Every structure is written in C-alpha cells, then in structure tokens.
Chain A
Amino acid sequence: MSTLAGSVGAVIGLGAAGLGLAGLLGHQWTVRNAWLVPLTGLELRMDPIAGFFLLLVGAAAFPASLYALDHHRGERRGDGAYLVFLLAMGVVPLAANAPTFLLAWELMALASYALVLHDHRQPEVVRAAWIYAVMTHAGLASLLAGMLFMSASTGSLRFADWHAAGPGLDGTTRSLAWLLLTIGFASKAGVVPLHVWLPIAHPAAPSHVSALMSGVMIKLGIYGLLRVGLEWLGPGPAWWGVALLLAGTVSALKGVLYALVERDLKRLLAFSSIENVGIVLIGVGAGMVFHASGLEFLAVFAVAAGLYHTANHAAFKALLFLGAGAVTHALGTRDMEAMGGLIKRMPWTAAAFLVGAVAIAALPPLNGFVSEWLTLLALLQAAQIPRLELSLVFALAIAGLALTSGLAVACFVRAFGITFLALPRSAAAAGAHEAGRATRAALALLALACVALGLGPTVVLPVLGGAAASLVGLPAPVLVEWPLTLTVAGDFASLSVPVIALGLGLGLLLPLLALRLVGAPRGRRFAATWGCGRLLQTARMEYNATSFAGPYKRIFDFVYRPRKRLEIEFHPESRFFVRRMSYENLPRGLAEEWLYVPVVRALQHASARMRRLQSGSSNLYLIYVLAALLILLVLA
C-alpha cells in the first residue's frame, strides 16, 4: 500500500473514531442531500448505536492502516478499494434510509471483494473471492427482499418511518420481514449455517483487511440484527430472541470447535470470529427474549453485554489478525506446523499476541472476560422469566457458552503455544525477523485497548447500557454504584476487575519477595530439555498443532465426522516392514455437505434444464421475443 493511502486510511480511522465517540456519548445530528442517492436522496443520522459502530470502524481502521504502511510498500494496487471499504463501512451505521444503506452496504461488499482478490494469481484466492461474492450477494438478495417488503408494508423507505409503523404491522408480516432481514444480516455476520464464506474469504485477504473484515465488517451484520429485532420491528415475540440465542450458541460451539483443529493460523482466527459472533448473538438474543417477557432491566443489560463483546472482539481480533499477519509476512506461510520459537525472534509481536490470546480466551483481568462474564450473568438471571421452557433454553445456552469458553482457552493455548513457543519447526521460523515499527505501534495500541476495556467496565458499561437502552427505547439502567465495582441487580453479583488485577499484581510480587526473604537460591542453570536419555532435541519431537488437536478430534468426533484415510505401502519382502505410510484426518464441514451441496446441485440441475431454451439460434430467440410480446399484449 502506498504511504499516502495508508496515511489517509489512518486519518479516516481517527476521524471516524472521534465522530463515533461523540455520537455514542449523545451528540446527535442528521445530514440530508436530495440528489446524491436515487429515490430518496442521501440521509445520514447519528444516534448512540450508530456512534458505537462508527467508533469501532474508526478504532480498528487506524491500527490496520498503520500495519498497511509497513507492508506491501510502494504497491498502489488496492489503495482505492481500501479507502472505499473504510468509507463505506463508516456510512453503513449512519444510513437512515434504505437506498443509502443498500448503496453503502454493497460498496462495502464490492470493495472487500476486490481486497480479498489482492493475491489474484493464486487459484485458491480466486476461488475464495468467488465464494465470498456469491454468499454476500445471496445475503444482499434476502436483505433487498426484506427491505422492499418493509417499504411496501409501511409505505416508506426511511428507517424512522419503519420504526414508527413497525409495531402496528400484523404478526405474520412482521415475522416475515424480520426473517428476511435477519437472514440477510446474519449471512454478513457469519452466523451458522450462513458462515461458510467467512473462513475461506477472511484468510485470503491481506492481514490488515482480514483484521477489518473480522473485527468490524461482520459486526455490521450484528448492527443490522440489532436494528431489525429491537428498533424497526419493535419488541418481537419471544421466539425471535430464542432463534437468535440458539443460532448464537451453535455458532459459538461450531466456530471454536473448528478453530481448535485448524492448522492455518489465519483460518483459525476466522473460525474464532464465528465463535465470537455467536457469543455476541447469545447476548442479543437473550436481550430480545427478556424484552419480550417484559424484563426491561435484563433486556438492556443483555444487549449491553452483547455490545461490549462486539467492541472487545473488534479489539482483540484486529490485534490477533495483525499479529498473525506479521508472523505470516516474516515466514511466508500461514501453516502453524512451520512455526514455533518465534517468541525469541519476534518478542514484541509475541507479547502482543499473548495479550490478545489471554483476552480472547476470556481470562481475567482482560476485556474478553468482562464481556463474557456480563453475557453469562444475563443468562444466569433467566429464572426471572416465568416460562419453564425458556429456562431450559437458557440452561442450554449457559452450558454452550461455558463449553465454548473452555475450548477457546484450549484453542488459544494452541495458537500461541505452537506458533511462538518451543523450537522453530522450519528454517523460515528460525530466521524470522521482528515486525516493523508501525506494525509494532499498531499491535501495542490494540493490546492497550484490550487492557483498558478489561479494567474499565465501570466506565464503558454505563455508556453501552445507555446506547442499548436508546435502541430498545427504555431508560438507561444503573449498573455502577461504586466507582470501581460493577453491581448487578443488588446482591446478584458484583465484580471489580481493577481490584482483581491489583490482587494478581500483588500475588505475583509477594511470592517473589517471600522467596528472597527465605533465601532461596536465585540463580538458574540452563540445560537441555529432559528427553528420556536421547541425545539431542529437535523440533520434530515437539508436540505440533495437529497432535495438540488430537484429543479434541477424538472427543468431538461426532461433530467433525472426519474423512479418515490410511495408506500403508508395505515392503515387498515382508509385511513387517513399512515403506511409506500416509494418514489423513480432515474434519468435514457439515453445513457445506448437508445444506450447500444439495442447494448448489439443485441450482445446477435447474440451470441445465433452463439451458435448453438457449440453443444459440437467433431464429429461436426472435420467436421468444414475439411470444413474450404476444403474451404481454394479451395480458394487458
């Protein structure tokens, strides 16, 4: 990327972040322009939710642009697409009518499509971009249908009118509109089973684009889901929330399980994005169920938890993608089996990646823990809903979220441990170089954001609670009674992350001092790793990404349903000697096989039938034109 485009991107990021922050804190404004957009003209409106998402776009765009300054230097291809991508993402949350929104939405999709195609000489990148284009337009079709349906039902293309008229529509119309719009937005967010494009397209793009796609772009799908389910169509029936809650649970589990066995570092992160979108959706879905049950405080609380996780995921996923980008750039491969030992060669990247790993594994005192704690807490209060069957749905979500967080710990121990620790597994890893200065600054900035969002929930949560309340149309709840402690529903639960962090700091120091006091020897002697008496240690003896995933593959065999293949070539003299052995154990994508393959096959079948109409003979086509004309005349 040229220095100019990178700098412009960074400036756009800063501006968007500032504008978004002001909006989130309550600065509202509207911009209208009659001729820029067809049908209705351009209309932009700032409110707290729009401000929140604009802030995310800006806050992720700034470090991503810094990273871009360090990489692909002097290469101008993709500059325009990158800037259009940033601007379109900024306009999406501000759009206040359907044409403006759809225009920005489609620009965002096309620009990111062009960016995914950056390495267009590799066939798998072309394939990834193609799948991305197809899926994103299938989503757009659903969205377009939903928006046309809404405008037909309400007689307006302005979102404000939808909000006013939405609650007055009859139940079936509302549910149909909700379903169409939700499917469109969910496919952008990467919700299972509409997620298949995500682990293919995100890793194919350059890393700063992956960071933006995973950190922010899919969040705009969440933005749409929030607007549709809570604002435009008002409080819906409980089953809307239950559907999102269950889809979120399935996405979280599916995402983390596939991330856990993935060897490609960037694909691993893409799968983990599906997991985190699932966690956000659990919060949002729970909020919708609470809202439908008349529990206003809990509704706002759960949605605020979802927003918190959205912000957190943007921070740590951008951090991890940029870190992975630095590693990939240094090694020339994304395969974790070729990594290892990078903590000694790339200490800054490793430290930042470790912060991101602790944060995304939802461990205290960093930010992932806070939002997961809030989400769990929202679920744990489900007993207030008087309906029995809903309690059991919530129990399912609690168990799913708990398993997800446990497996996420395993996933990121593997991602960090195999990539950065132990001995290098390839010559490239042994000769890796540290990332450039701008990249390190970007990583440090994002790591700092993870720490700040972790320590400051008492500052952040009331603001997000206000945004969630404005969306739901309720007064903002009081969540912070004491400046450093979150108190939820009286004595239900309390948490003070700064105190815990301080305690952990003290806990690190006290044993150190105590050991000094008792006079334990301070020196350390370095020796080879113990190896049962063998003479030298090589990287081939280490546990690698595949072996680490082994137990999980076995335990969750019923999910992966792997294709196993074992080929043994015996020595011609005796079967006791083996010449060559190859073993393959690849997890299958169930959504791909059970949903997409039949659909694609049916489509191809139908197209093959349709092809008979197209013989290539112009006489025949003239007859078609004539027939069409006659039919139209008869009908008219």
Chain B
Amino acid sequence: MTAAALAAVAQTLLVAAGAPLLVGLLRTLKARLAGRRGPNPWQPYFDLAKLLRKETVVSETTSWVFGVTPYVLAATMLVAAAVVPVIVTRPALAFAGNVVLLMYLFMLGTFFLALAGLDSGSAFGGMGSSRGIAVAALAEPTIMLAVFALAIRTGTINLGGVAERIGSDPVLAAHPGHLLAFLAFFIVMVAENGRLPVDNPATHLELTMIHEAMVLEYSGHYLALVEWAGAMKLFLFLTLLANLFFPWWIPSDVAALPMLLGALALAGKLVLLAAALAVIETVVAKLRLFRVPELLAGSFALAVLSVASVVLLK
C-alpha cells in the first residue's frame, strides 16, 4: 500500500517536474530543424523561475475567477497526472478515473481558462475564449469515437486495462483500426495543446492567437502556473499517445527497478513523439481559423473509419 502510494507520488512528481523539459526539448528540436541553434532544453525552468520572482499585475476589471483559474488548471493536470499510466500501468489512483474522466478533466481546465479570458474585459481574451472552446468542442467527438474503438477491442475504458491488454497482445496493436485511432488522437493532441497547424504557441500576433489570447492578461506567478499546467497537458497527451497505443515496457507492478525501466522507455517514446511533432510543426504552416474545423472533421473521419474497421474486422 505504501509502495503504491509512493509510486503514485513519484509519478505525479515526474510529470510535474518533467513537463517543462519536454517543452524545452520540443523548442530546441524545432530550432535545429529550422537551422537555428535554439535555446537550451532546460530554458523553460529558467523562465518559470523568473516568472515566480516577478511581480503579478492583475487587471482591475477581473474578479476572483481570474485568480482561481491558474490553480484550477494546475489542479486538473495534477489529478490527471495521478490517473494516467505513466511509469506503471495502474497507478494508485487509477481506480478513480478512466479515459472519459480524463478528457472531461481537461475540459474543466479549458472552461476556467476561457472564463478568465472573458474576465479581463479585453477583446483579445474574449476572442481567445470563444475560439479555444470551439476547437476543444470540435475535438470531443473524435476523442469519444477513438475511445469507442479502443473499448470494442479491449473491453475496457480504464486506462490501465487498455494498456495491459494491448501490451500483452501484439495482434491488437497491429490492427488497422488501432493505427487510425492513433492518427485521429494525434490530431486531437495537436488541437488540444494549441500546436501548429491549429494554433501557434510561439506567436503573439492578435489575429492568430487562440491559447495565448486567453492567457494574455496573466503575469508573474499566475503566468508561471498557467505555463506549467500547459506543459503538463502536453506531457500527458503525449504520454497517452505513447502508452495507450504503444503500451510496451510499462511495468504493471510497483517495484523500483521495473519502474525505472518504464520511465526510460517512456522517455524514449516521448522523444520520438516530440521529434514527430517538431517535424510537423516545422513543415506545416498555421491553418486559417475557419479551416481548423476541416482538419478536425478529418480527424473525426479517421475515428469513424477506425470504429468501422474494428466492427467489420472483428
């Protein structure tokens, strides 16, 4: 019991502490691909430390919702980090949640972030809120259909259960429906985390911002929390992609050595996924806002095909 609890704490800490590194790595990789030297992968830690030292300036227009939001974001990501199979298939809190809960938890964060965007009364914030939720809402059907495809094949929607069953049966992982669901979910990851071609995390040009517009009024330790939560969200989505669709080398029992190996395997998978994301972000340009629904419709079509192929090729 204590070992399991310790493992859960270790996993949450790993996500909390490792997330900025993943973001830094992604930035470095993108810079190298673009022919620049780029920042040190550890740069996000320095950024966070600097933000924590800075004064927090808050708009006079805002209410308590604005101040609570960064903490809500951090809380949703921390709970998610305790539920997702990161270095062990069934972490101590895995019984409390499942894929569906996880997606609704992320939505809770988006809900409050959008309210905070409206709270400052700036047109940018409202614009970001309206658009940000539109993207998140359009991604929902894809997520649930991908979950349906997984549920049909594995007979469970508990995250640990999916990982264990696909991990123990390579035939399940080689199914075309599996690959289609992975692609659909990858596009959802891009949309939910505001990556190119849906949103550009590096821009501060008013007309193109989605996520950055919502957080425009944040500064100081609020901004640090928001950025940190954003990094955790990316880390968790990539972990989900790695551990639900390629669930190999994840230990199912809590012991120090297998978990260390699990962490190493996860690091390898994350680097590969981050590299793929960096290549995509380097190659494609940002889509016009009203072309984004078409991209998401494409991912929805992939998810439908995935369900259809799973049902037909059962």
Contacts and interface: CB of A to CB of B under 8 A. Distances in A.
Interface in B264-314: 289-290, 293, 300, 304, 307-308, 311-312
B47 to A, nearest CB: 14
Given A520-B52, A526-B60, A529-B122, A363 B145 contact: no
Nearest to B139: A406
B129 A413 contact: yes
A391 B311 contact: yes
Please report whether the interface of chain B is mostly helix, strand, loop or mixed according to DSSP.
helix
Given A363-B111, A406-B137, A525-B57, A395 B148 contact: yes
A331 B293 CA distance: 37
Contacts of B239: none
Interface stretch (A189-197, A204-212, A456-464, A509-517): A509-517
Contact of B114 (A413, A506, A544): A413
Given A520-B53, A521-B221, 8 more contacts: A354-B65, A417-B114, A491-B158, A495-B101, A499-B93, A500-B79, A537-B61, A551-B290
Interface stretch (B25-33, B68-76, B245-253): B68-76
A495 B74 CA distance: 21
B101 A543 contact: no
B236 to A, nearest CB: 13
Interface string A226-265: 0000000000000000000000000000000000000000
Interface string B41-79: 000000000001111111111011101000110111111
Interface string B167-196: 000000000000000000000000000000
A507 B74 contact: yes
A530 B122 contact: yes
Given A381-B151, A511-B225, A494 B96 contact: yes
Majority-rule SS of A interface residues: helix
A238 B56 CA distance: 60
Top 4 nearest A-B pairs (CB, nearest first) are A543-B126, A507-B75, A406-B137, A417-B118
B156 A423 contact: no
B22 interface: no
Interface in A540-577: 541-544, 547-552, 554-555
B157 A500 contact: no
A503 B59 contact: no
B155 A528 contact: no
B21 interface: no
Contact of B151 (A358, A380, A410, A552): A380
A503 B78 contact: yes
Given A409-B136, A504-B75, A543-B118, A395 B130 contact: no
A402 B141 contact: yes
Contact of B60 (A364, A395, A528, A543): A528
B4 interface: no
A548 B130 contact: yes
Contact of A552 (B126, B134, B161): B134
A407 B141 CA distance: 11
A383 B152 contact: yes
A523 B156 contact: no
B166 interface: no
10 contacts: A377-B157, A406-B140, A417-B129, A500-B96, A504-B75, A508-B71, A524-B220, A530-B216, A542-B122, A543-B130
B101 A398 contact: no
Contacts of A521: 53-56, 220-221
Contact of A531 (B79, B97, B122, B289): B122
Nearest to B108: A363
A370 to B, nearest CB: 10
A416 interface: yes
B134 A405 contact: no
A493 interface: yes
B111 A361 contact: yes
A273 B101 CA distance: 24
Counting chain B CB atoms within 10 Å of each CB, the highest count among A373, A414, A500 belongs to A500
Among B76, B78, B105, B134, max chain A CB count under 10 A is at B134
Interface residues of A, number: 89
A421 B65 contact: yes
A597 interface: no
Contacts of B311: 383, 388, 391-392
Interface in B103-128: 104-105, 107-108, 110-111, 114-115, 118-123, 125-127
Interface in A410-424: 410, 412-414, 416-418, 420-423
A499 B96 contact: yes
Contacts of B155: 491-492
B211 interface: no
Nearest to A354: B65
Contacts of B75: 503-508, 511
Interface of A: 341, 343-344, 354, 358, 361-364, 369, 373, 376-377, 379-381, 383, 388, 391-392, 395, 398-403, 405-407, 409-410, 412-414, 416-418, 420-423, 482, 485, 491-496, 499-500, 503-508, 510-512, 515, 518, 520-521, 523-532, 537, 539, 541-544, 547-552, 554-555
B98 A554 contact: no
Nearest to B290: A554
Given A409-B111, A521-B221, A526-B59, A495 B118 contact: no
A495 B98 contact: yes
Nearest to A542: B121
Nearest to B161: A491
Contacts of B120: 422, 529
Contacts of B300: 399
Given A364-B101, A508-B72, A527-B58, A399 B144 contact: yes
B127 A543 contact: yes
A167 B65 CA distance: 56
A494 B93 contact: no
Given A380-B151, A508-B75, A528 B59 contact: yes
Nearest to B64: A343
Contacts of B220: 520-521, 524
B93 to A, nearest CB: 7
A155 B123 CA distance: 67
Given A364-B101, A503-B79, A527-B57, A537 B121 contact: yes
A402 B100 CA distance: 10
